[in-house]
Amino acid sequence: MKALSSFTLFFLLYLFSSECIAQPYVKLSFPQVSDKGLKVNNDNLITFWNTENGLPQNSVNDIVQRSEGFIFFATNDGLVRFDGVRFKDYRFQDYPEMLNNRIKDLFIDKNDIIYLVTESNSISAFRDEKFTVIAQGNYRRNFGLFSVTHDGNVYYDDEQHRLIKYSGGKRTQVSVPFNTDLAQVRKMLIRDEARMIFIRTDSTFIWDNGKLISLRTRGVPGKYSLPHTTSDDNRFLLNDGLAVYEIKSGRITLLINYDQEYGEINDVLGVGSDTWYIATGSGVLQYKNGKIISVLSTLNGLPSDVIKSLLADNNGGILLGSYDAGLIRISERVFKSLNVSHGLKNESINPVLIRKNGNLLIGTNGSGVFELKDQKLINELFPGRFVWSLLETSDNSIYAGLASNKIAVKSPSGRFHDINIPIERGITPTVTTLFEEKQGIIWIGTTIGLYKLENEKISLLPSQTGITFHIHDIRRDPSGLIWIAGQDGLIRYDGKKFRRYDKNDNEGLSYVRTIFTSGDEIWLGTYGNGLIHFKNGKFTRITHRNGLFDNSISSIHLDNQGIFWFSSNKGVFAVDKREIDNVINGKETRVSFIKFGRNDGMISRECNGGFTPSSAADKNGMLYIPTISGVVFFNPAEVKKEKLSTPVIIEGYEINNSFFNFEYQRNLELPFGNDRITFYVNSPYFNDNHNLLYKYKLEGFSDSWVWQSYMNNVISFTSLPPGKYKLHVKAYYAFRENEANETSLEITVLPPFYLTGSFIFFLIIALI
């Protein structure tokens, strides 16, 4: 054997010993998706998307949903896929088998194959990102009849008005089992060749297992429609434009008897056993127990009155296809508001308070106090006053601290009077918080310090107490200690002496807005310094660096499920207390949150703070929070924190500026030498998808999970060395990772040719 040269030996040692370090690349910038339009009322949340949000065209002619959750809808400029965040367009310029961009009807079968019917009466099928031509039509055909069965058999009429069946790539002519001229038929529905419906201009013929039934309908020609789903049950719904019939097992039942006040029926959707949504040219009607119970139109939130199609999506919403305003979604509004429409004369709200009798008091900037019972205005107090704090005392008196050196009082007998706060050092104090120490003694927090009202006498606590700053909140904890928070720190009062904590104890104590006590724990919401926890003499600060949504916290509420609810300048957000405890105890470094704002029904996401009380909960758990546009209220127990029902999909990858699609693929083999590989993931969801998270890790490279927003569906890696890897991706609702849906992909990065066994073998042979 020949001796190896020193260079050759060094080269071989380098090949076998060197490591290429791959750093994961995470694209944190959000995709370019415009904000969706939004209109709300206290019953419905109405969301809509149009050309300004990425739609190719504003006419949505039909809508279907695949089992994994993607919505597909037909427009006059192509087919569109929607996942709740992103649109993907399909046009015949890129997919010639579509034949035409003007799509009028969609059908879907049990295998998630979507069938497109174009304005020129052509038919094509869409599956696995590919289109297949079934029938090429033209505009000369009178009507163009189409029907798709649950099993995916397609029936249509040809130019000679013969009935054609397309199945398994083959076309065969089918005999109509009774004498009818297809040239006179406007619509048809075929479940199989023993069950058929043919609708003519004057009547409808039903063929049901050898029995022919004739039904004379009264609708307007051209308005006949049948459901576009291909369910395999025995139920047919027939809409003739003025009535809806159920045809089942040879029996015909009139379900909806309709007058023409709102125009002809364009589509119908059944929800439950007795509720129907009716799409018309004058909005959407809700029909129940034989009568119209509500009308939704441009008068109360819809962006268009002309609705062409309806679909109930997998997440509990109703999708509307409009004639000229794009895609619309109606869903339940959990976050509701009290504003001028409920009788409030001012929507700039400061404190809110639940009285002992359950009534709600709302303090305003310049309109005094409104009293509501069951969300209805029943009384107005202190009109024209700027109210910054509210208190109901043990004798049922109502105190309102004003934006001046006054307190407005209503006694139980109904007598009104003012209490004047002395001006100190030439400074006029503003009353920011009120606290009853015991009957007859009230503490008054102001912008210059703390006063005490006792036996109708007011005195400023001396500077020796350390309380010479702007006071925001005063609370008593379960042990009886009184806590005073303000602009320069926190003070504890044990009944004898005051103990002050400031930024020397924790840097976040420079601006405390609100106090919440729970057991032996004190929680402080600050302005700009995050959340502060105090227990056993130790302060712990949690900020956006620990995952907190907003560092400015105006109010704190802990519900019965152990979830903290915070109001802030950016909206309402919630965090699981267990996650906060893990950060405090050093087990974790970050918390996850769910956030709520305009997209969830709030008129304005900006909550007001620095006034007391800055939130209030009634005996039923309803939480009221002041905002700059009225009061938002909701029940935390009713806020959906649901388990995702849709799968996580790795849709494809991009390498060397080329995209490769593969839905549901589980293995991938890549050549060596790619600087970056980017994966695109998805999990279609249509409710508050801004509260969803992705988590991923690349097994074989790192054992650490990396999380990112659902809005960012891009995962990238750079310079992966040769080897075997497994990409794991989870999608889950914030702080419910235990219910995450997960998918994985096996990845093999092939070695370069000079690291293959055959090359090394031949190299060694060559050197011998």
Q: What is the pTM of this model?
A: 0.82
pLDDT tens per residue, range 247-275? 777 677 877 876 667 878 888 888 877 78
Is residue 707 packed enough to be buried (19+ CB in 10 Å), middle (13-18) or exposed (0-12)?
middle
| Contact of 145 with 156, CB cutoff 8 Å | yes
Residue 62 pLDDT exceeds 90: yes
Q: Which residue bears the tokens 């789903």?
A: 229
pLDDT of residue 234: 61
pLDDT, average across residues 48-52: 90
pLDDT, average across residues 20-34: 26
Look up residue 710 and give its two tokens.
Answer: 């659902």
Report the side by side order of strands in the sheet with 692-699: 667-670, 741-749, 723-733, 692-699, 706-709
Look up residue 60 and give its two tokens.
Answer: 């949505």
Residue 144 pLDDT exceeds 50: yes
What whole-number distance in Å separates Cα of residue 380 and Cα of residue 342?
13
101 contact partners, CB below 8 Å, separation of at least 6: 76, 77, 78, 91, 92, 93, 118
321 contact partners, CB below 8 Å, separation of at least 6: 60, 61, 62, 63, 73, 74, 307, 308, 309, 310, 311, 327, 328
pLDDT, average across residues 136-154: 76
DSSP, residue by residue, 462-482: PGGGT--S-EEEEEE-TTS-E
pLDDT of residue 491: 92
Is residue 757 packed enough to be buried (19+ CB in 10 Å), middle (13-18) or exposed (0-12)?
exposed
Taking CA atoms, 691 is separated from 38, 565, 595, 655, 706, in Å, by: 18, 14, 6, 30, 17
Instruction: Give the helix/strand (H/E) hosting 531.
Output: strand 531-535
Residue 96 pLDDT exceeds 80: yes
pLDDT, average across residues 465-494: 90
pLDDT tens per residue, range 651-701? 889 988 888 887 656 788 888 877 889 999 998 988 888 788 889 999 999
**CATH number for the segment(s) 12-28+643-754:** 2.60.40.10
| Contact of 374 with 637, CB cutoff 8 Å | no
pLDDT of residue 217: 67
pLDDT of residue 638: 83
Q: Decide: helix, strand or coil at residue 517.
A: strand
At residue 231 the predicted structure's pLDDT band, cuts being 50, 70 and 90, is: low
pLDDT, average across residues 421-443: 90
Cα–chain-centroid distance for residue 727? 27
pLDDT tens per residue, range 370-403? 999 988 899 999 999 999 999 999 999 999 999 9
Using left for φ > 0, alpha for ψ between -120 and 50, and beta otherwise, residue 746 falls in beta
Residues in the chain: 768
Taking CA atoms, 546 is separated from 50, 132, 327, 580, 696, in Å, by: 37, 51, 38, 9, 19
At residue 322 the predicted structure's pLDDT band, cuts being 50, 70 and 90, is: very high
Output 366-373 pairs: Cβ under 8 A, ≥24 positions apart: 368/400, 369/398, 369/400, 370/343, 370/344, 370/345, 372/338, 372/342
pLDDT, average across residues 279-302: 86
Q: What is the mean pLDDT of the chain?
A: 84
pLDDT of residue 640: 61
For the chain, give the percent of residues with pLDDT over 70.
88
Tally the C-alpha atoms within 13 A of residue 532's C-alpha that lie toward its C-beta: 29
Cα–chain-centroid distance for residue 676? 32
Residue 599 pLDDT exceeds 90: no
C-alpha gyration radius of the chain: 34
Look up residue 763 and give its two tokens.
Answer: 């190299």
What whole-number distance in Å separates Cα of residue 180 and Cα of residue 737?
59
What whole-number distance in Å separates Cα of residue 63 and Cα of residue 295?
21
pLDDT, average across residues 733-741: 75
352 contact partners, CB below 8 Å, separation of at least 6: 360, 361, 362, 363, 390, 613, 614, 615, 616, 624, 625, 626, 631
| Contact of 567 with 525, CB cutoff 8 Å | no
| Contact of 157 with 163, CB cutoff 8 Å | yes
State the sign of the Cα–Cα–Cα–Cα dihedral 162, 163, 165, 166: positive
Residue 332 pLDDT exceeds 90: no
pLDDT of residue 28: 21
At residue 6 the predicted structure's pLDDT band, cuts being 50, 70 and 90, is: very low
pLDDT tens per residue, range 443-466? 999 998 899 998 888 888 877 677
Q: Which of 679, 668, 674 is nearest to 745 (CA)?
A: 668
| Contact of 434 with 389, CB cutoff 8 Å | yes
Local structure of residue 5 (DSSP, 8 states): P
Report the side by side order of strands in the sheet with 60-65: 60-65, 71-75, 78-82, 87-90
Residue 16 pLDDT exceeds 50: no
Q: Domain limits of the chain?
A: 12-28+643-754
Local structure of residue 768 (DSSP, 8 states): -
pLDDT of residue 753: 65
Cα–chain-centroid distance for residue 599? 7
